[in-house]
Structure 1
Amino acid sequence: MLERILALSPAGMAVLDRDLRFVWVNEALERLGGVPRDQRLGKHLRDVLPLLDLRLDAEGIESRTREVLDTGQPLVDHLMRGGTKAHPHRPHAYSLSVFRLHDAANRVLGVSFMVLDVTDRWRARERLALLNEVGAQTGSTLDVMHTAQTLADTSVPRLADFVAVDLLDSVIRGDTPRPGARRDPPRMRRAGQQSIHAGCPESVAETGQPVSFHPRSPETQCMHDGRSRLEAMPGASISSWFATDPARAAKIHEFGYCSLILVPILALGDVLGVVRFIRWQLRDPFEQDDLLLAEEVVARAAVSIDNARRYTRQHSTALALQRSLLPRSLTGGSTLDVAWRYLPAHASDGAGGDWCDVIPLSGARVAMVVGDVVGHGIDAAATMGRLRTTVRTLADIDLPPEELLAHLDDQVLRLIDEEQTADPSLTPAALGATCLYVVYDPATRKCTMSRAGHPPAAVITPDGSVTFPDLPAGPPLGLGALPFESAEFEVPDDSVLALYTDGLIATRDQDIGLGLDRLRIALASPEVRLDELCGTVLDAVLTGRPDDDVALLLARTHALNEDQVATWELASDPSVVADARSLTADRLTAWGLDSLLFTFELIVSELVTNAVRYGNGRIRLRLIRQDTLICEVSDASSSSPRMRHARTTDEGGRGLFLVAQLARRWGTRYTADGKIVWAEEHLPANGTQDRAN
């Protein structure tokens, strides 16, 4: 009965003597291995194993069996994988258990082993591992193309010999999927592919290239109806891909089949693309279980692809918003040569709150500003845009730098109140900002700077020396109730001013002091073109991808020469109006601007008359010929002139109205000892400033 039980056992069993020769084999082992009993009996284990599968580790299995024979310690549930004579192209898994045999006197007779086919259990475990790996690997990135390539890499060779992932163009751009009408082929792109052969010779398109499908092709139909397909094709259909490799083509003809699975990529009801799984060698064609596995693999990857698509959309939206809020170009006219760089940090939010700007002011002056809003993302970019607009508005009314920052601080406080009302958990520190505001006057060659918690500007003189002017630090914007101060100093002509955000000098691997030293060394080449200097600074100061956004603004100063500025001191007497007209006429004639004589004499007459009538102390008249012709009349009064709308019977009140009609722009700015009323006019085509004069 015992012998019959062993012979009829569904588990493959054999008995080996002390030399590891086969002395007994049951029928189940013959069926499992595909090697007849007469080819086993009397032969060593190491001679029989290669007959079963060349991929089995014959020496390793024999050494383990010998160890059981020597030690008596049984080997239990040892997993073996490979094909057999019965199923050469279908991988199987077997559980091997080996134990030592003794007689009644406890003498060692040999060993017996038992083999069980655990292919189904092994495949279930492999499929679960594949699903877990696909979910983990594809979810590790938010890049659509990388996610698709990861899906292909993970599926080869564990599921297929070749995998191609094709996505809709709109998905790769981050837009909402639009497969198109059924009669029109969708616009698609190869997002990822992998093959068991190097270089993907099976591919009909390179990764990133457009792919096209016929409107009635299985791929197009699969995307339109959202249903997977399992198809078998003759070997000749795929061997044509190897026209340049006859040996491989012959091998495929030998297998005689090509098995194909098409699975649509679906996410929340939207079709994102299609995945092709192709199998033709070293395994059997796809079965229904493989189709279910492929669908589950694609379903898990589809979630990651859709997340990457949505992130791409949000990322692109944030960057587009930031680009729209940042200046498209910066120019300082003939007063400043300007170059700038904005380098976003590699952050998940994509956009940040750094910005820089150049703003023309009255009197040929130019304002430069650089700022940094705390945080990243759309909120930071939107806050940056609001602050940049506020700075431009405040600069347009000619506020001194310290007053401008005070008003900007008020605006930040209002923004903080709005945000904290919507989300009480936010703190002012999470909504703050820093700013540096600089005004350059080419007529006096002086710079006035004020900062709110921002790194100081750098000044590079023509001889190459780099200094960081000592400015009052000022509190960051958003704290309130603390004053801002400014400092004024003279800069030589052709000096370079460098404004930047703290992302340039403060990184994880260096403190601000080291960053400033690197910046000083990198800036010590003022003769270099500003565009080249920007690149040199970024390469020299940044040691890698910045942790924070970086904004860098470089401006080379060009002072006005003596021939471009004319200044006269006038007494506060009505008789000086005629003198002012005469002096203006002489200067405009000397500048070759006779076409502006009548207009500008009238403007000067009205502004000087207002200063005599309503101002205090002596009057100063200054004419500036730069990109425009500018007239400035200053006095000691701090009262601002107001344009009146005179009635037809009024004898006065039309002076500023005439100035507003005749001049391109006009306005008032305050000084430490009074105010300046100015007006400017376009130069005629033949009267443009020539700096060589």
Structure 2
Amino acid sequence: MNAWTTATNADFRGPLDVTRAATAVLDARGLVIGWSPAARKLLGYPPEDIVGRPVDTFLPDADRPAADGPRTAGEPAAIETRTARHADGHRLPVAVTRCPLTDAPPGAETAPAQVLVATALGDLQAWESRQAMLHGLATQSPVGLALYDSTLRLTWFNTAYGREIGLPLRQLIGKRADELYPGMFVTEGYPTGLDTVMRQVLATGEPFLDLHFVGERPTDPGIEHVWSCSYYRLQAPDGRVLGVCEDSFDITDRYRAQRRLNLLVEAGRRIGTSLDMVGTAREVTEVAVPDFAASVTVDLLRSVLAGADAEPDGSGLPDLVRVAARSWYDPPDRPPHPPYPISYERGTPQYRSLSSGGMIRVDRTMVKPLRAGGALMGLVTFDRGDAPGVFDGGEIDLAAELVARAAVSMDNARRFTREHAAALTLQRNLLPQHLPPQSAVETAHRYLPSDDRAGVGGDWFDVIGLSGTRVGLVVGDVVGHGLQAAATMGRLRTTVRALARLDLAPDELLSRLDDLVGQTPEERAAGAVAAPGPDDMTAGVTCLYAVYDPVSRHCTMARAGHPPPAIVDLAGEVTFPDLPAGPPLGLGGLPFESWETELPAGSLLALFTDGLVQDRDRDVEAGLATLGEVLREHRQPLEELCDRALDALLPQGAAPDDAALLLVRTRELDARQVAAWELPAEPAAVATARELATRQLAEWGLAELSYATELVVSELVTNAVRHASGPVHLRLLRDLALVTEVSDTAHTSPHLRHSTYEDEGGRGLFIVAQLVQRWGTRYTPYGKTIWAEQAFPPHYPGAPRPVS
């Protein structure tokens, strides 16, 4: 027997073992006749001072009988607590036991009669605690303990381990771990298989802690369990490897609770990342499969999917649309199916849930209604497939939490869908749907709303027919998104059209628009003017307004903080003119300036908003360069150029901001459609003007309009001669209508009024207004022009046809 075995056996026998405890041999008279070295060490008496002396020398009251009475030879000894006297006089608590020996022959008083064994009371108590611990580990501990020898065969296990495995030790002794748990696997990140784990522990001495094993318990088939196991090597004091100890604890409940918590955390992170009901439904399926269910489907009410309010209970079985479905065996790169109608037969769990309005659980299927504010939005179906077990109470609560989070996100998405649709409808109605054909220019346009996340913006464009065959070109941008931005855009577009009809110069039009934008809604209602408030959505509006005259081929433009247009000449050279920028509308305090250039017929003009050329990944200069490359092919059809510009600048089909593009190709009014004369400012010029106009109408085949035209010319020239100085200009334009223009150097404008019977004049302009479709006044730096339009006679063959 080696030293380790001896020490181990002694420890199991305890501190009262005679091989290690203080031992005294007593004769029948109670005299010490034998004294061990351990006794000298404990009590301090050398043998020569104690042998032959009575036992009460070191153990007072030694003759006191044992608590359980006298014992005969061979009986188990009781352990008593006594107070011993040390050789130096101090008292020492000890534990004592006596072992009677064979009765001595008569008269042999010095023969051994009993053995007295003593140890320090603290040593005995510590040993008893260790023994209790070992007994508890073997019989009462909830942790399973198993010992494997150096060949990794089972040699012993405790009571808890036996309950887990469900078989007696005698049937399992000598088996390997992989034979005990054939279907168990180790979680990710560790060696696979128990045998591999234990061999690594034997070879390296490094323990494995908290390995998670998943499998079925022999006593509980069909239910998946999770164990937390630790492995460490057993070694003798001399270093010999004896085997491996396994600690195991069933953490199935804790593991499931942690998985549920992790799933809720993941749901909070991934569900509701976009204001899109279909996208949110797909996020629910991605989170729940496969960690919670083998397959998940989400069905929404068709009305809810369209943005309507959720339906209250009792409203009948609604129409459903399957918006998301996912299964654990789907390939990860499988594209989602588009939404499609779905219906359920009577008796199915989904039908029962719709009918009752509550949760339905049948076998491995659970159906939870999606609710928002108590009203039904749809259904979520969780299915475990072939997985063992049904949904327990904790899983039902988890499903309720997932569905509740999804319902909140979907309801937000539904509200956004409704508001976004309303904003899109408003914006669509406020923007020009079809630009009217113009003889002065050929146009094409594109408007691309911002993506769903950013919402509807306030970009707009317009083409406005003006007097004298001219055309007004507008592009603008309202800061912000949503209904307010769209409504502001509509108000500004209407205002620009109204101001343009006054034939204002571009810089003057922007100045008046700036005054209106700077007013708050209350001030606009009260007619007051003030600086914009900090929450005024119209502050920071940008706009560019241009006027093109097909007779002179001049284009005048001004801008308020807006990007300059692109101009492409007949040779294909692209320029972005450095016209005065001007401040954004609503800031006030700075003037606007007009810039004029000549555009030969066939020139290309591109007006756009910054959403077309700028985004978070591209600066303005790069966007303008890309647009210029597209516009160099200026001879291509304008519709094709619009498409190419969007493909090059917005290849994804959406942008964080709205993008508007208006392409304009200039035309020139044919000389045969224009007749102009300069007349002196004298009364005789009136007759001359009538004669010139009548002759020109006859040449154009419009003699039918001569009478009305003579009256218009007479009135307008007479007013010019009477109230102005300098020459008078008469011009006739044969465009989409017959336009008569009289220009002079005065800046006063005639006013239409009713004359009384006492007035000698004042009726002429009133008569003119009755003879023409429209009339008006526009001002120039050199004076004013009064114009009047007349419709051509029916079926007039010489009328120019507008080109779309």
Shorter-chain TM-score: what band? 0.7 to 0.9
Corresponding position: 1:472 with 2:472: no
Deviations 1:599-628 (A, max 9, x none): 333322322232233333221111111111
The offset of 1:497, in angstroms, is 1.0
Match of 1:333 in 2: 438
Deviations 1:2-56 (A, max 9, x none): 5686256544332100111111234543543467756632133344332556999
| Among candidates 81, 86, 92, match of residue 225 of structure 2 | 92
Match of 2:648 in 1: 540
Match of 2:705 in 1: 596
Could you tell which deviates more after superposition, 219-228 or 309-318? 219-228
The offset of 1:347, in angstroms, is 6.7
| Among candidates 402, 405, 426, match of residue 297 of structure 1 | 402
Corresponding position: 1:680 with 2:789: yes
From the superposition, tell whether residues 475 and 39 of structure 1 become closer, same or farther in structure 2 (CA, over 3 Å).
same
Match of 2:357 in 1: 226
Contact 2:743 2:786 in 1 (8 A): yes
- Report the AA paired with residue 320 of structure 2: M
The offset of 1:180, in angstroms, is 8.1
The offset of 1:197, in angstroms, is 2.7
Contact 2:187 2:211 in 1 (8 A): no
The offset of 1:127, in angstroms, is 1.1
Q: Number of aligned residue pairs: give it.
A: 661
Could you tell which deviates more after superposition, 328-337 or 666-675? 328-337
Contact 1:344 1:548 in 2 (8 A): yes
Helix, strand or coil at the partner of 1:631: strand
Corresponding position: 1:270 with 2:370: no
Contact 2:550 2:666 in 1 (8 A): yes
What pairs up with 1:30-109 in 2 under 5 angstroms?
30-33=162-165, 37=169, 40-50=172-182, 59-102=192-235, 107-109=240-242
Corresponding position: 1:622 with 2:755: no
Could you tell me how far apart the structure 2 residues matched to 1:316 and 1:662 are? 46
Match of 2:599 in 1: 491
Match of 1:362 in 2: 467
Match of 1:119 in 2: 252
Match of 2:290 in 1: 157
- Report the AA paired with residue 557 of structure 1: T
Match of 1:646 in 2: 755
From the superposition, tell whether residues 316 and 369 of structure 1 become closer, same or farther in structure 2 (CA, over 3 Å).
same
Deviations 1:132-161 (A, max 9, x none): 212221122221101001111211222222
Match of 2:271 in 1: 138
From the superposition, tell whether residues 228 and 568 of structure 1 become closer, same or farther in structure 2 (CA, over 3 Å).
same
From the superposition, tell whether residues 692 and 131 of structure 1 become closer, same or farther in structure 2 (CA, over 3 Å).
closer
The offset of 1:441, in angstroms, is 0.6
Could you tell me how far apart the structure 2 residues matched to 1:192 and 1:4 are? 54
From the superposition, tell whether residues 430 and 442 of structure 1 become closer, same or farther in structure 2 (CA, over 3 Å).
closer
Could you tell me how far apart the structure 1 residues matched to 2:441 and 2:284 are? 53
Match of 2:317 in 1: 185
From the superposition, tell whether residues 36 and 192 of structure 1 become closer, same or farther in structure 2 (CA, over 3 Å).
farther
What pairs up with 1:250-261 in 2 under 5 angstroms?
259-261=364-366
Match of 2:693 in 1: 584
Could you tell me how far apart the structure 1 residues matched to 2:402 and 2:515 are? 55
Could you tell which deviates more after superposition, 532-541 or 139-148? 532-541
Contact 1:230 1:260 in 2 (8 A): yes
The offset of 1:294, in angstroms, is 1.6
Match of 2:426 in 1: 321
Match of 2:340 in 1: 209
From the superposition, tell whether residues 365 and 424 of structure 1 become closer, same or farther in structure 2 (CA, over 3 Å).
closer
Corresponding position: 1:282 with 2:381: no
What pairs up with 1:664-675 in 2 under 5 angstroms?
664-675=773-784
From the superposition, tell whether residues 108 and 517 of structure 1 become closer, same or farther in structure 2 (CA, over 3 Å).
closer
**What residue ranges of structure 1 are gaps of 5+ in the alignment?**
233-258
Contact 1:572 1:618 in 2 (8 A): yes
- Report the AA paired with residue 800 of structure 2: D
Corresponding position: 1:382 with 2:487: yes
Match of 2:17 in 1: none
Deviations 1:562-617 (A, max 9, x none): 11011122222333333322322222222222332333333223222322333332
Contact 2:313 2:376 in 1 (8 A): no
Could you tell me how far apart the structure 2 residues matched to 1:216 and 1:615 are? 93
The offset of 1:70, in angstroms, is 4.4
Helix, strand or coil at the partner of 2:756: coil
Corresponding position: 1:525 with 2:658: no
The offset of 1:349, in angstroms, is 3.6
The offset of 1:422, in angstroms, is 13
Could you tell which deviates more after superposition, 614-623 or 272-281? 614-623
| Among candidates 301, 310, 317, match of residue 168 of structure 1 | 301
Could you tell me how far apart the structure 1 residues matched to 2:716 and 2:538 are? 48
Deviations 1:223-259 (A, max 9, x none): 4543211123xxxxxxxxxxxxxxxxxxxxxxxxxx2
Could you tell me how far apart the structure 1 residues matched to 2:576 and 2:553 are? 17
Match of 1:29 in 2: 161
Contact 2:450 2:657 in 1 (8 A): yes
Could you tell which deviates more after superposition, 588-597 or 104-113? 104-113
Contact 2:439 2:802 in 1 (8 A): no
Could you tell me how far apart the structure 2 residues matched to 1:423 and 1:158 are? 59
Could you tell me how far apart the structure 2 residues matched to 1:470 and 1:502 are? 16
Could you tell which deviates more after superposition, 38-47 or 392-401? 38-47
| Among candidates 649, 660, 682, match of residue 573 of structure 1 | 682
Could you tell me how far apart the structure 2 residues matched to 1:139 and 1:41 are? 56
Taking structure 1 as the reference length, what is the TM-score of the superposition?
Answer: 0.88
Highest RCO, 1 vs 2 (Cα 8 Å, sep ≥ 6): 1
Identity %: 47
- Report the AA paired with residue 604 of structure 1: V
Deviations 1:624-665 (A, max 9, x none): 111111111111111110011112454432212122222111
- Report the AA paired with residue 23 of structure 1: T
Helix, strand or coil at the partner of 1:92: strand
Match of 1:255 in 2: none
From the superposition, tell whether residues 532 and 35 of structure 1 become closer, same or farther in structure 2 (CA, over 3 Å).
farther
Could you tell me how far apart the structure 1 residues matched to 2:532 and 2:562 are? 27
From the superposition, tell whether residues 104 and 481 of structure 1 become closer, same or farther in structure 2 (CA, over 3 Å).
closer
Could you tell which deviates more after superposition, 623-632 or 283-292? 283-292
Could you tell me how far apart the structure 2 residues matched to 1:17 and 1:307 are? 63
Taking structure 2 as the reference length, what is the TM-score of the superposition?
Answer: 0.76
Contact 2:366 2:381 in 1 (8 A): yes
From the superposition, tell whether residues 475 and 219 of structure 1 become closer, same or farther in structure 2 (CA, over 3 Å).
same
Contact 2:749 2:777 in 1 (8 A): yes
Contact 1:567 1:621 in 2 (8 A): yes
From the superposition, tell whether residues 692 and 387 of structure 1 become closer, same or farther in structure 2 (CA, over 3 Å).
closer
Could you tell me how far apart the structure 2 residues matched to 1:91 and 1:11 are? 19
Q: Which has the larger radius of gyration?
A: 2
Could you tell me how far apart the structure 2 residues matched to 1:54 and 1:382 are? 62
Could you tell me how far apart the structure 2 residues matched to 1:217 and 1:651 are? 93
From the superposition, tell whether residues 54 and 671 of structure 1 become closer, same or farther in structure 2 (CA, over 3 Å).
closer
- Report the AA paired with residue 724 of structure 2: G
Could you tell me how far apart the structure 2 residues matched to 1:435 and 1:364 are? 23
From the superposition, tell whether residues 692 and 15 of structure 1 become closer, same or farther in structure 2 (CA, over 3 Å).
closer
The offset of 1:102, in angstroms, is 4.4
The offset of 1:181, in angstroms, is 5.6
Q: What root-mean-square deviation, in Å, do the aligned CA atoms of Structure 1 and Structure 2 show?
A: 3.1
Which protein is richer in helix relative to its size? 1
Could you tell me how far apart the structure 2 residues matched to 1:100 and 1:423 are? 83
Helix, strand or coil at the partner of 2:750: coil
Match of 1:244 in 2: none
Contact 1:332 1:366 in 2 (8 A): no
Could you tell me how far apart the structure 1 residues matched to 2:799 and 2:578 are? 35
